[in-house]
Amino acid sequence: ARTVGRDAAGALHVGGVAVADLAATYGTPLFVVDELDFRTRAVAFRDAFADAFADLCGGADVYYASKAFTATGVTRWIAADGLHLDTASAGELELGLRGGVPPARIALHGNNKSRREIVRALEVGVGRIVVDSPAEIDVIADLARERGVVAPVMLRVTVGVEAHTHQYIATAHEDQKFGVSLASGQAEAAVARILARPELRLLGLHSHIGSQIFDLGGFEVSARRLLELHHKVERDHGVELPELDLGGGYGVAYTSEDAPLAPTEIAGRLAEIVARECLVQGIAVPRVSVEPGRAIAAPSTFTLYEVGTTKEVELDGGTRRRYVSVDGGMSDNIRTALYGADYSATVASRASTAPGVLSRVVGKHCESGDVVVRDEFLPEDLGGGDLLAVPGTGAYCRSMASNYNQLPRPGVVAVRDGSATVLVRRETPEDLLALDAG
């Protein structure tokens, strides 16, 4: 559903708006969200899961993971399009509420929720609080009792599946901070503690195995282990667990080498897996939910930069590399430096027939690891004032942005049908100075 194209002069436009106009109006760097693309993707996940699970458990719920990127404008789309919302802090929760997402459709996560966050979740009546550790059980239960409410909870289980990009290792990945370990029996003990507190209503089990995953095999192992525990809990405690959450993590194409799965493929496979495991266990199929963030947000957005200085270096063997500096960098996209992520770049302001030169797109920060795009062939005549677009930056870029070197964080605009709407205003130097105690 992407609405990106080029005009006769080769200049990029998106949502019916020329990028040069966006740069002139909102400045650069700028995150440009193709609203229709974001929403079409969100709805595609919603419908694919509703359809694939319709006969099994009356449908499945898709929680958009706010951490990928959120703003009131985004949660308004989520609310209007009938998705659920995954939040991992009071701040993300607040944006969900501001956008009108019904609290019953909101989940609160976090391995170290503050009392304030739990209280807020209870006060507004979120649909689920995901218990991440045994230590939280009594805290949530006590806060619920003080307020005379019953807290709907899920238990995040560490299922022992380590998922990496392009692969998963079905061995115990216990040595990390999230969730309650299944293999050690801690998850079962936590279930018993939850069930012993009348202020808590256990909806079911939850697992999130990783991010940027292309191989659904990891979900198969995870679902099997979750449903085994699910069955055991129902049998041993004589309760019914109405829900099951399989987390998010579906991969997107950052470069042409990645081949993402379609929502219908993902939903279809997961439905098969859940159906088979429930049959094996002889249990009723719980209502399934998932939490994609990246797969909805990342492809919808590009970052628009203005090129500044360039320089060429000679590499061993005589090849040359050109460094193309842009007016942002690791403060608006830390993913290249932090995870070795791959991005691409394209000249946005004009066409060029000049030959391509091996280029590295770098930022303006004071360290050499400040790379946005490691390798890209960009036209030889690229220079100061040209606009560069880096696609696929809708997830975990603006949401992980920093003010390193006292750089104001970029704004985010949504474009659609020829007009642009600000989702997040660009920070100003005055905003930063206002935080300084002087």
**CA–CA distances in Å: residue 252 to residues 22, 40, 257, 432:** 26, 15, 10, 34
Determine how β-strand 128-131 pairs with β-strand 151-158: parallel
**Cα separation of 168 and 165, whole Å?**
8
8 Å CB contact between 242 and 233: no
* Structure token digits, residue 369: 């690891």
Q: In this complex, which beta carbon is closest to ligand LLP, that of residue 47 or of residue 142? A: 47
Q: Is 292 known as a binding-site position?
A: yes
Q: Is 197 known as a binding-site position?
A: no
Length of the chain: 438
Q: Is 379 known as a binding-site position?
A: no
Q: Which helix (H) or strand (E) holds 373?
A: strand 371-379
Q: How far is the CB of 357 from ligand LLP (least distance, A)?
A: 29
| Among 51, 95, 90, residue whose Cα is nearest residue 77 | 95
Q: How far is the CB of 320 from ligand LLP (least distance, A)?
A: 31
Q: How far is the CB of 142 from ligand LLP (least distance, A)?
A: 24
Q: How far is the CB of 384 from ligand LLP (least distance, A)?
A: 30
- Give contact residues for ligand LLP (rule: CB under 6 A): 65, 67-68, 86, 109, 208, 211-212, 247-250, 291-295, 335, 339, 395-396
**Cα separation of 293 and 291, whole Å?**
6
Q: Is 396 known as a binding-site position?
A: yes
Q: Is 254 known as a binding-site position?
A: no
Q: Is 123 known as a binding-site position?
A: no
Q: Is 125 known as a binding-site position?
A: no
Q: How far is the CB of 313 from ligand LLP (least distance, A)?
A: 29
Dihedral sign for Cα atoms in the order 146, 196, 173, 265: negative
**Cα separation of 434 and 438, whole Å?**
9
Determine how β-strand 356-362 pairs with β-strand 371-379: antiparallel
* Structure token digits, residue 242: 């109405």
| Among 90, 74, 91, residue whose Cα is nearest residue 31 | 74
Q: Is 249 known as a binding-site position?
A: yes
Tell me the catalytic residues: 366
**One-letter amino acid for residue 263 of the chain:** P
Phi, psi of 137 (to 5 degrees): -60, -50
Q: In this complex, which beta carbon is closest to ligand LLP, that of residue 73 or of residue 394? A: 394
Q: In this complex, which beta carbon is closest to ligand LLP, that of residue 17 or of residue 226? A: 226
Q: Which helix (H) or strand (E) holds 108?
A: strand 106-108
Q: In this complex, which beta carbon is closest to ligand LLP, that of residue 26 or of residue 45? A: 45
8 Å CB contact between 2 and 13: no
Q: In this complex, which beta carbon is closest to ligand LLP, that of residue 17 or of residue 221? A: 221
Q: In this complex, which beta carbon is closest to ligand LLP, that of residue 248 or of residue 328? A: 248
Peptide bond into 134 cis (omega under 30): no
Phi, psi of 130 (to 5 degrees): -95, 110
Q: How far is the CB of 189 from ligand LLP (least distance, A)?
A: 22
Binding site members for pyridoxal 5'-phosphate: 249, 291-294, 396
Mark the binding-site residues, compressed into ranges: 249, 291-294, 335, 339, 367, 396
Which segments are annotated as binding site for substrate?
Answer: 294, 335, 339, 367, 396
